[in-house]
Amino acid sequence: MTLDVDLIRKDFPILERKVGDGRQLVYLDSAASSQKPRQVIDAMSDYYALHHSNVHRGVHALAEEATALYEGARDKVAAFINAPDRNEVIFTKNSSEALNLVASVLGWAGEPYGLGPGDRVVITQMEHHSNIVPWQLTTQRTGAELAWLNLTDDGRLDLSNLDEVIDERTKVVSVVHVSNILGTVNPLDVIVRRAHDVGAIVVVDASQSAPHIPLDVQALGADFVAFTGHKMLGPTGIGVLWGRAELLNELPPFLGGGEMVGTVTMEGSTYAPIPHKYEAGTMPIAEAVGLGAAVDYLTALGMENVAAHEHEIVSYALERLKTIEGLRLIGPQTADAHGAAISFTLEVAGLGEIHPHDVGQVLDEQGIAVRVGQHCARPVCVRYGIPATTRASFSVYTTKAEIDALVEGLDYVKRFFGA
């Protein structure tokens, strides 16, 4: 089924906005945060207006309604990612917290999962800082070694030394599914197979894949998968960690407080079963409701259809951007195994490279919203010898006309700077 993008766009009030001096908004920054359909906005408004209470605590009508909505969102997420058990779905506040949770509890755990001197954690050079810094902190604290897979010149992972990097000492492999800066879709099957061959736990950052392609955690084969609501048409303040039940049951809790306890005495405490063991305190209830509505919306569209639409947009964007003299794509040059984000630099003859911040500012004056900077992936910029990039990223509501507007905007940028 081909998505009716014109009809979809009517569900997103913000896309009707005029910005600056009255120009139509062209929103090409969905990798940073997607826009929200009315269905998500209305679901959260309805919750606050009619159903709000704390969850899991009260026996009155509002408490039971709120609990049903909150736990209903968990059911929707579990179905969306094909989780074998709804209790394996842990709500967090974002992907960063989910990844920090895993890195922390593996650092605190005892055998056989815990980390210590002589153990190795493997990440990659293309990771978001949220999948680098937590592992740096954990390996520094435990004495484990941090290693990584490097990047090729064309923005792919260099797997030529995979067996040497993921060696017999490796306890954890944590890898991004789709790069937020390069758009690279990684061959997780190869990486997961090697990791499990040496007995390592596999953690996947799916922040840039869950909104765009079908995500089946059972088919993926990983042990933990993290993603966030605000990139997949849902609200900020809500993320998801999926983990295999046997691991979640064995590993220690992340935060202490209300709801995650079984019994508490002054001498010690026991912990609630999963998922509550990892959901301390009052959770983001309205945000979970909003995420559930976003999952409903994407499910109704069909993730295969979403993926097909965005592949078409990426193919078109790559084709058009390659026509711009002085534009350098950073990352894969073709739409094959390419996610919904494209990064580039822009050079003007006689002037050299225009700083991405300047590119972004001039585009903004044309009503075009892109992301500029290092995209929380500085090692990638260092690898390719650039200070930063301009990034255009797409979602279900992106049109080819918006790609055309970007190309026209970049031509204007070059004229603005004297080309």
Q: Which two tokens stand for residue 323?
A: 């026509």
> What is the Cα–Cα distance from 223 to 202, expressed in whole angstroms?
5
In the block, tokens 């951007």 appear at: 321
- What type of residue sits at position 380? V
- How many CA atoms, within 13 angstroms, populate the side-chain half-sphere of residue 156? 14
Helix axes 61-80 and 285-301, enclosed angle (nearest 10): 40
CA geometry: angle at 187 spanning 184 and 189, to 5°? 155
- The residue whose two tokens read 């605590």 is 57
- Give the Cα separation of 209 and 211 in Å (integer): 6
**Phi then psi dihedrals of residue 205, to 5 deg:** -90, 105
* Pairing relationship of beta strands 239-243 and 89-92 according to DSSP bridges: antiparallel
Rg (CA), the chain: 22
Backbone phi, then psi, for 35, in 5-degree steps?
-80, 170
The answer to whether 86 and 121 are in contact (CB under 8 A) is: no
Contact between 56 and 283 under an 8 Å Cβ cutoff? The reply is no
Q: Are the C-beta atoms of residues 127 and 175 closer than 8 Å to each other?
A: yes
Structure tokens at 393: 């990223």
Of 39, 60, 59, 63, whose CA–CA distance to 51 is shortest?
A: 63
Q: Within 13 A of 322's CA, how many CA atoms are on the CB side?
A: 11
Handedness of CA 48, 50, 52, 55 (dihedral sign): negative
What is the Cα–Cα distance from 393 to 342, expressed in whole angstroms? 6
Q: Is 381 a catalytic residue?
A: no
Contacts of 338 (CB under 8 A, 6+ apart): 183, 184, 185, 311, 314, 318, 331, 332
Spatial contact of 70 and 285, defined as CB atoms under 8 Å apart: yes
The kind and range of the H/E element at 236 are: none
List 133, 348, 376, 419, catalytic entry = 376
List the catalytic residues: 376
